[in-house]
A and B are shown apart, each in its own frame.
Chain A
Amino acid sequence: MIREEEPQELHPMDWWLRSERLPHIWCAGCGIGPTLYAWTRALDRVGIDKKKVVYVSGIGCCGRGSGYLDVDGFHTTHGRAIPFAVGIKLVKPELCVSVISGDGDLFSIGGNHFIHAARRNVDLLVICTNNFIYGMTGGQLAATTPQRDYSTTTPYGNTEPAFNTPYLADASGAVYVARWTSIHVRLLERSIAEALGMKGFRYIEVLSPCPVNYGRRNRLREVDDIAKWFWEFSVVKHEADTKEVQIERGKPLILGNFVKKEKKLSCYEELKELEERVRAAAEAKK
């Protein structure tokens, strides 16, 4: 994309990118870019070998992300990013597998996979870019659209309560639960780095602006309107009770690292231990 006569300069993070594919398909001001930026910086910070990084995504705007990064990327079917990642992790537990996908993908069609992966404490990092709407398909109501907000399918306002996703993750057994916004990139990066250093099912929700399909219908027309909403209403409250972090328009957005707990082993490791025990017992019988 750079004119040939100019010396080609590279962004410091370009070594993580498939640069020839940029500019990407996301709209101006989309929060997926900063999320990926924070993820790649966190990987750098933790010092993970790029060859061992696997990025699995589902369908939607965020699903396209796996094609822009120069790592093993899998763009799977709608909602099935988590089981796909579980399959990879089962065969190669040494890989650093991250699922970065949207709210519709992870919590609507993929809701079951999410809660069960959390329940089993599969060793995965799941990052959800929550833009409160189905962005790619034209702004339909999502499971995360705040109550009374507008979408193409709820022109008079949404009557359904939205998912409080950190609470859902916490209740399902995730060992790490955090919420940031794509404006708080540095804090997000630190949080991802912290999560990358842990084992088990880790979940980070990233509130992300969708000026085109969410903002336009909800008096947040410009990118910086949403940025200001995130900036001015956000309250960082680490270790907040996840029950109380429901997102409601006009109320504070509670951000922070909510849950960090030690769980013995992910279920597959426990299974391996069990197998060894049973084998040892069988040997002893002989």
Chain B
Amino acid sequence: MAAILGASWAGAKSMTATSGPGLSLMMENFGLGVMMEVPTVVVDIQRGGPSTGLPTLTAQGDVMQARWGSHGHYEIIALAPDSPQEAFDLTIRCFNLAEKYRVPVILLASETVGLSAGKVVVPPEDEIKLIDRKKPTVPPGEYLPYRPDEDLIPPMASAGEGYAICATGLTHDEKGYPETNAETQEKLVRRLNDKIRVHLEEIVDVEEEHLEDAEIAVVSYGQVSRPAKRAVKMARDEGIKAGSIKLITVWPFAEHVIRKWAKQVEWFIVPELNYGQIYLEVRREACGDSKVVPIPRMGGRLITPQEIYQEIKKVSKN
């Protein structure tokens, strides 16, 4: 993890891949990446935990770790793919988001995606949209490595370009110099969070299906969204007004989407391969406007469409 941060500072687009236990080890430098505002990508192929857990059977237990794993208060971006094709597409998007917002981005896949084989269409190079980080436009003497532009994101120079970068994991001012006081901390941490928060709607990507008249919405992410969509289809065939919200962006959480649909639907069903992590987020955003039911599975195997369908049927009778 430290090496990819170094590589990114030297100007490269860098990434690493790991599973849950590795992510735990990387969290220290993940925090450094957030503090130094280093664009980089970490792929987490989740497996059952805690500790060594289930090597290597599927789970989705790292959702909150991805969000809060390192100490301090910060915002990150995490995307969850449900298939090899989406893993390919979202990895590109991860890099674009990392470069644009100068933040480490996590691709939150799981064993079922990481180890499955599937057809992947690789588009021609000129059709892939790539974003590169903002470079400083001022000469070295005037460059302040942490002076943000209006979008709260500072331009980034690379090592060896003569900008004499001073980057540190300590709370720092716009020059990058360590400052140990409340004002600098307030200003810096607010900006680190706000640079993601103000761009929330731009970053968040969800897939909504059959929601127009839905009374029940299944909120899912990652590989669970495939059985979830199937279950919604089964319910529709039975005449149950069910819809699906698939969170492609897990973090930052799609608050505005859940809030919008909470006014319409009566039930949110959240199937996931943990004891309820995104469930809590959905419940928070539903604000009591609609009821939220989790379908928690601890991992090891996928949730079947039938299981989700049974739950939809159960709540539809209430």
- A residues near B (Cβ < 8 Å) are 18, 21, 51-52, 54, 56, 64, 66-67, 70-78, 80-81, 83-92, 94-95
Contacts and interface: CB of A to CB of B under 8 A. Distances in A.
Contacts of A70: 164
17 contacts: A51-B160, A52-B160, A67-B176, A72-B159, A72-B163, A72-B164, A74-B36, A77-B2, A77-B31, A77-B169, A80-B2, A80-B28, A86-B3, A87-B4, A87-B7, A87-B10, A88-B7
A72 B176 CA distance: 11
B161 A51 contact: yes
Contacts of B3: 83-84, 86-87, 90
A85 B169 contact: no
B308 to A, nearest CB: 42
Contacts of B177: 18, 21, 67
Contacts, number: 105
B287 interface: no
B145 to A, nearest CB: 10
A166 B14 CA distance: 33
Contact of B159 (A80, A83, A95): A95
Contacts of B168: 66-67, 74-75
Given A51-B161, A73-B165, A95-B160, A88 B170 contact: no
Contacts of B4: 87
Nearest to A90: B7
Given A76-B169, A77-B29, A84 B160 contact: no
Nearest to B13: A91
Given A67-B166, A87-B14, 18 more contacts: A18-B177, A54-B159, A54-B160, A66-B168, A73-B165, A73-B166, A74-B6, A74-B168, A75-B168, A75-B178, A76-B32, A81-B2, A83-B2, A84-B3, A84-B5, A87-B8, A89-B6, A95-B10
Nearest to A71: B164
Nearest to A94: B160
A210 B278 CA distance: 51
Contacts of B167: 73-75
B233 to A, nearest CB: 46
Given A75-B169, A94-B160, A88 B32 contact: no
